[in-house]
Amino acid sequence: MSVSAGTPDHPLRVVIVGSGPSGFYAAGHLLKIKDLDVEVDMIDSLPTPFGLVRAGVAPDHPKIKSVIRVYEKTAANPSFRYFGNVLVGRDISHGELKDRYHAVIYAVGAQTDRQLNIPGEDLHGSFAATEFVAWYNAHPEFCDREFDLSCRRAVVIGNGNVAMDVARMLVLPRAELETTDTADHAIEALSGCAIEEVVILGRRGPAQAAFTNPELLELGDLTEADVIVDPSELELDEHSQRAIDAAGELTARKNVEILREFAAREPRGKPKRVVLRFLRSPVAIHGNGRVESVEVVHNELEHGGEGRLRAQATGRHETIEAGIVFRSIGYKGVPIEGVHFDDWKGTIPNEEGRIVDPETERSIPGEYVVGWIKRGPSGVIGTNKRDAQETVDHVIEDLNEDRLPAPVDRDRDALAALIAERAPDHVTYSGWQLIDAAEKAAGEPQGRPRVKFTRVEQMLDAARVKTRA
């Protein structure tokens, strides 16, 4: 390779901001390239790595979390370093990173929620599902959230896998929660909760639901809740029928089959119910100071262009009484100072992972994205592997074609020194390993995978143990 960097004397220096799946896959791909000397630094705002694998994946899905083993192998590479508890934009700027690396890859995900823009959305008792998910997963910024679960009915708006996770978590019995790494505060709150019915609202029909087959099937196997589907809401219009009959629509076809099986079931007399409703859009959340009901309009489907069937409101309205609402209609990225951002899409503008200046429409040398901040909040964890490969291929192409800017400061220790000065409480990968070991040790006597720390201070204390000893 005719390269200006990537040799033992002059390694390619890459920093990845964000330590979730897309960031770790990008690191893994870079570190596997033959005949290329590369040094990868990873920065995360939390002391703990792994992004949504730690703070998003439902605690009752431990198998999904086992993907962490792949990331641990990447982290074991001597050319990899981790700097947790460091916030880009506060502790270190985008410009300072650019001065020290050939390439900066943003892997920051989509950290906030999309808005419904309906009256009552901000009433007390109306929450973004993203907050609830982060709360039950012990994300330190969400641990002080309070969810009043003393009502009988909850409404979950949206038909994606996050809606499935939220609905399941609301009806899992204590005995099942106690075998997981659900935050202790959430186990207490969820086990004592009064919710007997969770209504999941899809604005389109069963054939357009975004959830996947295994997640839907799980609703049929809940220990304490019957799954309820009204057969009349499963009647497909001709467009939906044609869509699921088309080749390649396996998930949608199977979803409809599963839902029909649910609809044909006699309720088994379980104490709780998860009710799936379709073709219903929320138009307002009502209540005197707090959520008391959700007003929905019945929809029909019509062609919305690009082969997509969209929900069109009819004049029929219905009111569903509920004391709590979870808006689960998708995540949204947040801007980083100094980096271009597309507000409408909630992503960083890019072409196949190369960040693009929207004004000139040209890629910016040395700036890249991977994962949800690149393509929006879609796909499963594995989707990020391919996605990161595409970006890394472009980094290497740019390196080979001499398009990468040379760092002003090439010293590997310079970044560590700067971080030590700006963020003295940063956590290295060995610090994380101490946190990990402490959490696992706390979980072991209870037969749980771990008991998660809920406070950054607790994490920092655990990470410091070795230094103190």
Write out the residues near ligand NAP by the rule CB under 6 A: 116, 157-163, 165, 202-204, 208, 210, 215, 281, 328-331, 377-380
Q: Which residues of 247-262 are buried (b: 16+ CB within 10 A; e: fewer)?
A: eeeeebbbbbebbeeb
Tell me whether residue 208 or residue 347 sits nearer to ligand NAP (CB atom): 208
Residue number with CB closer to ligand NAP (214 or 267) = 214
Could you tell me the smallest distance in angstroms from the CB atom of residue 126 to ligand NAP? 13
Determine the Cα–Cα distance for residues 25 and 374; give it in Å rounded to an integer: 14
Least separation in angstroms between CB 133 and ligand NAP:
8
- String of DSSP letters for 67-102: THHHHHHHHTSTTEEEEBS--BTTTB-HHHHHHH-S
N residues, the chain: 469
Pairing of strands 272-277, 12-17: unpaired
- Residue 359 CB, shortest distance to ligand NAP, in Å, is 30
In the block, which residue shows the tokens 């994962």?
A: 371
| Residue closest to ligand NAP, measured at CB | 160
Q: Are 369 and 22 in contact (CB under 8 A)?
A: no
Choose between 20 and 287: whose C-beta lies nearer to ligand NAP: 20
In angstroms, give the least distance from the CB of 208 to ligand NAP.
6
- Residue 166: which residues within 8 A CB-CB, separation 6 or more? 129, 132, 133, 156, 326, 328
**Residue number, 157 or 275, with CB nearest to ligand NAP:** 157
Q: Which residues pair with 42 in a beta bridge?
A: 16, 82
CB nearer ligand NAP, residue 154 or residue 396:
154
Q: Which is nearer to ligand NAP, 159 or 363 (CB)?
A: 159
Q: Which is nearer to ligand NAP, 60 or 141 (CB)?
A: 60
Report CA Rg, the chain. 24
- Work out the number of other CB atoms within 10 angstroms of the CB of residue 231: 11
Q: Cβ 57 to ligand NAP, closest distance in Å? A: 7
Closest contact distance (angstroms) between CB of 64 and ligand NAP is 6
Residues 6+ apart with CB under 8 A from 467: none
- Gap between the Cα atoms of 272 and 268, Å rounded: 10
Closest CB 451 distance from ligand NAP, rounded Å: 23
